[in-house]
Amino acid sequence: MGKILKPDICVIGGGAAGLSVAAGAAAFGVPVVLVEQGKMGGDCLNYGCVPSKALIAAARQAQAMRQAGAFGLVAAEPFIDGERLRARIRSVIEGIAPHDSVERFSGLGVEVIQETARFIDDRTVAAGDHLIRARRFVIATGSSPAIPSIAGLAETPHLTNETLFEFKHVPRHLLIVGAGPFGLEMAQAYCRLGTRVTVVEKADALSREDPELKTIVLDAVRAEGTTLHERTVIRSVERAGDGVLLHCEHESGPLGIEGSDLLLATGRAANHAALNLGAAGIRHDAGQIHVGADLRTSNRRVYVVGDAAGGLQFTHAANYHARLVLQQILFRLPAREIRDIVPRVTFTDPEIAQVGPTEDEARASFGAIELVRSDMSGSDRARTDGLGRGMVKVVVGRGGRILGAGIAGAGAGEMINLWAFAVANRLTLKHFRDYVAPYPTLSEIGKQAAISYYSPMARNRFVRSAIRILRRFG
């Protein structure tokens, strides 16, 4: 038997969640062992956020070339070189990789073991020839693409986020299954890169988003050329020549859709099968580890963070989880996950972002709410920059409290920061009315929304008579 290690914390998984826990603990001088079986940086760096946003950035440039005529320049149809595109995505990943590397973490004082971890009892993990008996364990094993059960899929070549960004050519006609954030971001990006794109969604596209806001996004994505079939069930799939044929069922009848390549964007499944959770007395079922709002499992020594926790699946949620868990382990202070303060952004163009409940969710939870909206057409900056439609929609509770906010439009992902700050700090629209927004910025439309909330006051008879009285004093 190999080495027995006895750190304070053993972190399993070196993606965004695990690295944040390890770095945070090491910064306080706490002994940490990190076990990672694959690439340091996990999904976000290697197969998720970073390559997808690099691809989207290239697609945005291509679209800007086509649309240059609107700015008084000569428009051009871009030449798309698949090899160079792939090389650029690779170089962006390589530029960030040192930050997540074994070398950096070893330098921080973390002992990194590059093996697969599994529990052998309620306080011991085996990884290669190491046994790790830690005071606390943090499961940060992330998630993998959920593969739907569709007849013929196993025999038909298909891509997922784990293979898409290594793909050698730009597809001729990409069929995408799933119109969640991943499916739609990729649909628009590939469409802009000259691919014909068809998306098949069994329910509604962007189903979590506010209907009024997501219409702005879906109209734009469709207008650029993506074909989107919603409420369409795929019965089977087969190879057709060099390509793929989907046999679908829509309310209007059967539908055959043929394309050159197939991408699955059908959600995620948490990774825990290899962990041997039963040996550690950790309650779970096939889909999920049972975990409380404190991110603790039924084995009180063991926490779960990031995608493995099965709730919010974002890199910033993983970082937030890391803070909550460190607060409990290092300082023995209670901490609970508050999902309403965690924003989400889908990086289509226009973007869509939300923090806190949407209108429908807020009505279901709070009953009486108020809404304020502000349209991007009122923004001078949107005009100078030739931007399309956009809207800020704020869900307001008692006393003007900001319960949630949704934004569709260019820059929504940046603008949501201010609203996320407001929701986390329980601010009211008065705070938004009173701060000064620089001109001309898109964020001004948020302030405009706050002003519109208070504008009925200008017509209030008591306010008006108070002003009349004060005027008499000179």
With CB under 6 A, what is the number of residues at the site for ligand NAD?
A: 26
3-state secondary structure 273-295: HHHCHHHHCCCECCCCECCCCCC
The residue within the footprint of ligand FAD, chosen from 88, 316, 363, 373 (CB under 6 A), is: 316
Q: Provide φ and ψ at 118, rounded to 5°.
A: -150, 145
Binding string, 331-350, against ligand NAD, x = CB under 6 A?
-------------xxxx---
Pick from 111, 150, 153: nearest CA to 7: 111
Q: Residues of 37-50 as b/e, b for ≥16 C-beta within 10 angstroms?
A: bebbbbbbbbbbbb
Asked if residue 12 binds ligand FAD (CB under 6 A), the reply is: yes
Name, in order, each residue with C-beta under 8 angstroms of 201's C-beta and a sequence gap of 6 or more. 178, 179, 183, 228, 229, 230, 231, 232
Binding string, 49-88, against ligand NAD, x = CB under 6 A?
----------------------------------------
What's the rounded Cα separation, in Å, for the pair 374 and 433?
A: 13
Asked if residue 52 binds ligand FAD (CB under 6 A), the reply is: yes
- In the bound complex, what is the minimum distance in angstroms from residue 121's beta carbon to ligand FAD? 16
- In the bound complex, what is the minimum distance in angstroms from residue 374's beta carbon to ligand FAD? 25
C-beta of 14 vs 259, nearer to ligand FAD: 14
Give me 465's structure tokens.
Answer: 């008579």
Contact (Cβ atoms closer than 8 angstroms) between residue 279 and residue 121: yes
The residue within the footprint of ligand FAD, chosen from 7, 32, 36, 259 (CB under 6 A), is: 36
Asked if residue 42 binds ligand NAD (CB under 6 A), the reply is: no
**Interacting residues with ligand FAD between 255 and 284 (CB under 6 A):** 271, 274-275
C-beta of 132 vs 372, nearer to ligand FAD: 132
Contact (Cβ atoms closer than 8 angstroms) between residue 293 and residue 285: no
Positive or negative: CA dihedral 322, 328, 329, 330: positive
C-beta of 202 vs 431, nearer to ligand NAD: 202
**Binding segment (CB under 6 A) for ligand NAD, from list 239-247, 260-268, 363-371, 373-381:** 260-268
C-beta of 277 vs 422, nearer to ligand FAD: 277
Residue ranges for the binding site? Answer: 53, 141-143, 178-185, 201, 267, 307
Task: Give the DSSP letter string of 140-208.
Answer: ---EEEPPP--BTSTTS--B-HHHHTT-SS--SEEEEE--SHHHHHHHHHHHHTT-EEEEE-SS-TTTT
- In the bound complex, what is the minimum distance in angstroms from residue 187's beta carbon to ligand NAD? 11
The residue within the footprint of ligand NAD, chosen from 200, 216, 291, 422 (CB under 6 A), is: 200
Name, in order, each residue with C-beta under 8 angstroms of 147's C-beta and a sequence gap of 6 or more. 153, 160, 264, 266
Give me 386's structure tokens.
Answer: 């030739």
Contact (Cβ atoms closer than 8 angstroms) between residue 220 and residue 349: yes
Asked if residue 55 binds ligand FAD (CB under 6 A), the reply is: no
Binding string, 291-330, against ligand NAD, x = CB under 6 A?
----------------------xx----------------
What's the rounded Cα separation, in Å, for the pair 47 and 373?
A: 36
Residues at the contact surface with ligand FAD, assessed by CB under 6 A: 12-18, 35-38, 42-44, 48-49, 52-53, 116-117, 140-143, 161, 182, 271, 274-275, 306-308, 313-316, 318, 347
